[in-house]
Structure 1
Amino acid sequence: MSRIVYLNGDYLPEQDARISIFDRGFVMADAVYEVVSVLGGKLIDFAGHQARLKRSLDALEIGNPLPDDDYLAMFRELVTRNEITDGMIYLQVTRGNPGDRDFAYPPADTPQTVVAFTQSKPGLADSPAAAKGWKVVTEPDERWGRRDIKTTQLLYPSMAKMAAKAKGADDAWLVEDGKITEGTSNNAYIVKGNTIITRELSRDILHGITRAAVLRLAREAQMQVEERGFTPEEASEADEAFVTSASAFVMPVVAIDGKQIGNGAPGKIAARLREIYLDEMRKTAI
């Protein structure tokens, strides 16, 4: 069965979906995106992702082409048409097609381009990686300064991911001014004693939707949370570490730059957070 995608109000077989070569998402990466996970055919933390989509669009002065109810209906239609039980929905909104290439923004009434597609990931919540943990390496953070805007400018994170894979690791933790900002597509955490440490929100990191949910659930579970930067050296001396993202949920990290973290196995706090996060998300999925 051909995958059905959404493009500007139409549901099409993926091979029939086309956009202009002048679309600013293509020529300028002038676009934002969101990824929403699907578990049991339902959407995880949809409201959080929609709120961040609006924030990203506002930051770039791109109009929001659809109301929340239309996004929700579209996502549900894609889940149904593609028979998705577990997986993800990728949504991208661009500034649209100005009819030619120009650094200046097109007129404000230029229609935005809206694209969405599904990715089927059976057993998404049962990833074997969660039982063994990830290995990460550090790479310099050479991205642009507005990492809080979820744009499609992902070339450097992709390069860092490939550098990590070339070193036999699963991901890279990016370092700026001696401290870790985040992973290539996730927020980074260490645990020291009973305290969870993660970088504070700013323009330096993406304001993760999974991050917000996990920290809320950690506090509700009476876990201590400290929001501040930490160094690679602190990470290597931590008792455990993990990352969070919409697709990895809570993923333990067991080594950094070849040195094991803690006892080199996924830690109890990361495992507990993954458990309570998935339980809460399944209960509140729509």
Structure 2
Amino acid sequence: MTVAVTGASGQLGRLVVQALLREGAPVVAIVRDPQKVADLAEQGAEVRQASYDDADALDRALAGVDRVLLVSGNEFGARVAQHANVIRAAERAGVELLAYTSIPQGTENSMILAQEHIGTEAALATSTVPHAILRNSWYWENYLGGLAHAVESGVLYGAASEGRVAGAARADYADAAAKVLTTDGHAGQVYELGGDEHLTYAELAQAISTAAGKQVRYQDLPEADYAAALQQSGLDADYAKVLADADTGIAKGLLDVTSGHLQKLLGRPATSAVEVFRRALS
């Protein structure tokens, strides 16, 4: 059984390829630039070149593939059409299972980040390829970009109020995807995936404090003020808006997943925020 992973040079895709290789599965790593995954080739993955925009290349990349993980792209505004290209190529290839990395509540989530996932899930619903949807909640690694500043300043800023986020390590989601891709019974399933911890941002600040050995507190801001602060820190205005909107989504409970699906797929607890932060700081 051959398993393909799109976006295999990305942070999640790379981890999924490595998890599949540990399982002994024949793996096809699909990337735009093969040079970026030379190490995966050395580990045993077959590398094939294709972009989400190139239907012919996708047909070649999925030839002979039994199962495929469609890792959501990062070209905002183009992702629904790009993902549809992969779905259609999977149909033409006769793939027996396509798994897609979506977002919690992926048909009704109001976050800006969710809208192209909603469009992709709609495309999957009308496709003929058997599929499973992996609705990943937040990665604890999403907070690493501001981790050093939070530790240095003693303040974690955000706009999540008292909302809770059920995060996990990126590797946890990768291992869960590998499980779906290498075992049976997943076609037609929708997995709401989130970690064991359901943390407010005040509790996230405490997790950073524990990992750093230095007290960090949480300062809640209105969404617009937080977006402005992110821009002042150097982020693009549109990206700052997306991140601030995501915090508002957390305040609404949109990333507080309680299904237990991740833990069932993993057969173990998810990785704690403290562990992820401690590794990053070390």
Q: Return the TM-score normalized by structure 2.
A: 0.28
Going by fraction, where is strand more abundant, 1 or 2?
A: 1
Going by fraction, where is helix more abundant, 1 or 2?
A: 2
